[in-house]
Amino acid sequence: MLSNDIPIFQQLAAQIKDDIVAGTYADETAVPSTNEYAVFYRINPATAGKAVNLLVEQGILYKKRGVGMFVSPGAAELLLAQRRDRFTTEFLTPMLREAQTLGIGPSDLAAMIDREAVSDERH
Amino acid sequence: MSSVVPAVKLHLNKREMTFLVPLYIIGMVALISVLISLVFLRGGSVPGSEGWLTGSRNNPAFLWAFPGYLVYLGVQSIATTFPFALTLGATRRDFVAGTLLWAVLTSAYITVILAILTMIELATGHWWSGFHIFDIYILGLGDLSLLVPIVFLGSLTCLVVGGGFAASWVRWGARGPQLIATALGLVIVVGVIIVIPSAESIFASFAAWWLAVAAAVAIAISAVGAWLLLRPATVR
Amino acid sequence: MTNAIEIRAVTRRFGRVKALDEVSFTVPVGSICGLLGRNGAGKTTVMSIISGQDRPTSGRVEVLGATPFEHAATLSKISYVRDNQRYPDDYRLHHVLRIAPEFAPNWSTDVASELVDGFQIPAKTPIKKFSRGQLSAVAIVLGLASRAPVTLFDEPYLGLDVSARALFYSVLLRDLATVPRTVLLSTHLIEESESLFDRVVIVDRGRVVVEEERDDARELALSLSGVADVVDRVAAGRAVLQSTRVGGLKSVIVRGPGDSDILNAAALHGVQVAPASLQDLVMAYGTHDEPATTTKEGVRA
């Protein structure tokens, strides 16, 4: 579930972000407590707290005193915008580099993308 | 926060061993005494006669039955209970104090039971049949002022001396009890060598209270010894 | 007071053998700290000393600000069941459950019965006849239900199967949320337990070789693996803690953080590189037949 290559708190933070983007936790709804995360993922409560604090610093979550952690309004939008920003560097650039290595030109690549998109829609 | 009372409770935790086993032992001794009396009865001895009385009153069954149990109880009170007491969080000081307190309580319990049974035996005219189970020499012939110190000091000695040996085992391992037994043997032999020339006059002036003093000394040495042995003892 | 456990230059000799040699480490209040190392490294001796069951030959140990040996108030705040714990003659489970609360002011009957049910500890069998796993289960009941502010677990899962271990983890984490406490846990099941720890102490032959926050321990060493001579080239200039060679393939654990130099070199030569796991670290420090190692001194990243 959680691996050794990346620090656990970063993995958990990424997991929570994915859940927010996927709509599992809507704006202004509560996310599980640090201790629930600790028990569920079988991790140290301080580690879980570190992940949650990271998200608070990034404005994704906010704390209601005595109640718990909530998804900040517009968090999903914010995360989506960040992902869009990273889409070029994380997906397009490596793909173009690999395509170049394989001798696939930009127009061939565009055609491949169209074909994949159509077959993906049928599923 | 003292753990003396919890330590006493720890010893009393095995309720059957503490409270019921003495009753079983007394029951067994009573049963055997009655059976032997029946043998004599069938052999033609008359209850209440001179020979009957001498025979019954010399019954040593309690002497065979009780010390084994009490010494075992004393040994286990330290040998296997000490490491568990430390695990539970008792201090060595409180554990030793609690163990002594428990030994006093256990001795008192046995004393009270034997005193009550002796009173019943006397009140019922020896169970309406002339059987002497408790009205015997080693229990003071029905005299409570003798029975109480005999049973109490006797029990306490067995418990505390057993605990003393166990403490040496906890501290030094198997060598401990061997060392103490050897030292004790040497002291006795040397003592005998010293006093043997005047043995006759000593035996002539022997009095029962010597035993009480000897028991008190044995209890004191064992209790202090157990404390000194356990105070720095570690569990491994 | 921020440290639950403070050990300063503790040495413990048994005759001529030094079981602990100038051991120092601290465990902050509220931490779950892993105490790792090979058999005979000194883990049990350290725990015996922390719990006041043993005393150091020299050095100081403080638990919640006091020396635990013969200190009643401190001892009542510590729970430590030895891996070879002896119980009084003829003890059965109910004897343990009846007496433990007398010594443990925070004892939770609910936690105890949940664990007894979950582990299916037999009620009628004398403890003397328990299997290794059943003995471990009793020790866990005592450790968790005591809710002691400082709780020590020495190899808590010997003989326990995977579902019993899962029960231990979930009750531990859930109950820590209810009643926070400091936990020091020694184990050989490092991969399974490491996500529990926020801090690790690795001991080897009576010395502390690593004392780090869990996330910082990732920076201590790298694992490199690939074709032998290429791995050697990438590892050049780093202290090699351990190396394993199978045919033409080699994997090594080298000291130090994964800085860009070594990461680039590894990428260039097709060598796989990853932060060393705790298990790698324990193995690396526990290996003494390797040449060119300097494992005896402590490592600071």
Per residue in B104-147, pLDDT (tens digit) is: 999 999 999 999 999 999 999 888 888 888 988 888 888 999 99
Q: Do B84 and C86 touch (CB under 8 A)?
A: yes
Percent of chain B residues past pLDDT 70, beyond the cut:
99
The pLDDT value recorded for residue B171 is: 92
Chains A and C touch (3+ CB pairs under 8 A): yes
Burial class (CB in 10 A: 0-12, 13-18, 19+), C104: buried
Q: Are C9 and C23 in contact (CB under 8 A)?
A: yes
Q: Does C257 touch chain A (CB under 8 A)?
A: no
- Tell me, what's the pLDDT at B50? 83
- Position A1 pLDDT exceeds 60: no
Domain ranges of chain C: 3-215, 220-286
Residue B52: what pLDDT?
Answer: 85
- Give dist(CA A31, CA A27) in Å, integer: 10
Distances (CA, A) of A35 to A47, C146, C214: 10, 20, 18
pLDDT tens-digit readout, A35-87: 999 999 999 999 999 999 999 999 999 998 888 899 999 999 999 998 898 89
8 Å CB contact of C88 and B92: no
Closest approach of chain C CAs to the CA of A115, in angstroms?
A: 34
Which residues of chain A approach chain C closer than 8 Å at the C-beta?
2, 4-5, 7-9, 33, 35, 38-39, 41-47
pLDDT band with cut points at 50, 70 and 90 for residue C292: very low
- Residues A110-120 have a mean pLDDT of 86
Instruction: State what percent of residues in chain C have pLDDT above 70.
Output: 95
pLDDT score of B215: 93
At C70, which helix (H) or strand (E)?
A: none
pLDDT value at C294 more than 80: no
pLDDT of residue B189: 92
Residue C288, pLDDT score: 65
> Which residues of C are less than 8 Å from B236 in CB distance?
48, 54
Distance from CA of B99 to the nearest CA of C (A): 14
pLDDT tens digit string along B149-179? 999 999 999 999 999 999 999 999 889 999 9
Identify the contact set of chain C against chain B, taking CB-CB distances under 8 A: 48, 51-55, 70-73, 75-76, 78-82, 85-91, 95, 98-100, 102-104, 142, 148
Higher-confidence residue of C118 and C239: namely C118
Helices (H) and strands (E) in chain C, counts: 11, 13
At residue C258 the predicted structure's pLDDT band, cuts being 50, 70 and 90, is confident
Class of residue A88 by CB neighbours under 10 A (exposed 0-12, middle 13-18, buried 19+):
exposed
- C264 versus C6: the higher-pLDDT residue is C6
pLDDT at position B236 over 80:
no
Q: Does residue A2 carry a pLDDT above 70?
A: no
Residues of chain C in contact with residue B86, where contact means CB-CB under 8 angstroms, are 51-53
* CB contact (8 A) between residue A42 and residue C277: no
Distances, alpha carbon A34 to alpha carbons A40, B126, C108, C176, C224, in Å: 10, 76, 23, 12, 35
User: How confident is the model at residue C299, as a pLDDT?
Assistant: 38
Classify domain C220-286 by CATH number: 3.30.70.2020
Find the CB nearest B10 among C54, C79, C99.
Answer: C99
| Mean local confidence (pLDDT), A83-96 | 89
The pLDDT score that the predictor gives to residue C289 is 54
Overall average pLDDT of the C35-56 stretch: 94
Closest residue to A39, CB basis, from C170, C198, C218: C170
pLDDT at C296 over 50: no
- Where in chain A is CATH 1.10.10.10? 8-73
User: Is A39 in contact with C215 (Cβ distance < 8 A)?
Assistant: no
DSSP assignment of A38-62, as one string?
A: HHHHT--HHHHHHHHHHHHHTTSEE
- What is the CATH architecture assignment of C3-215? 3-Layer(aba) Sandwich (3.40)
Q: Please determine, for residue A3, whether its predicted confidence score (pLDDT) is greater than 60.
A: no
Beta-carbon contacts of B89 under 8 Å, excluding residues fewer than 6 positions away, are: B3, C75, C76, C78, C79, C103, C104, C148
Question: Residue A34: closest CA among chain C residues belongs to which residue?
Answer: C177
Cβ-defined contact of C103 to B1 (cutoff 8 Å) = no
Q: What is the predicted pLDDT for the residue at B153? A: 95
Chain B contacts of C75, Cβ < 8 Å? Answer: 3, 89-91
Q: What pLDDT band is residue A4 in, cutting at 50, 70 and 90?
A: low
What is the per-residue burial (b if ≥16 Cβ within 10 Å, else e) of A28-50?
A: eeebbbbbbbbbebbbbbbbbbb
pLDDT band at residue C300 under the 50/70/90 scheme: very low
CB contact under 8 A, A43 and C196: yes
Selecting from B14, B83, B86 the residue whose C-beta is nearest the C-beta of C95 gives B14
CATH number belonging to the domain at A8-73, selected among 3.40.190.10, 3.40.50.460, 1.10.10.10, 1.10.3720.10? 1.10.10.10
Instruction: Return the exposure string of B179-200: e unless at least 16 CB atoms fall within 10 Å of the residue's CB, then b.
Output: ebeeeeeeeeeeeeeeeeeeee
Q: Are B131 and B35 in contact (CB under 8 A)?
A: no
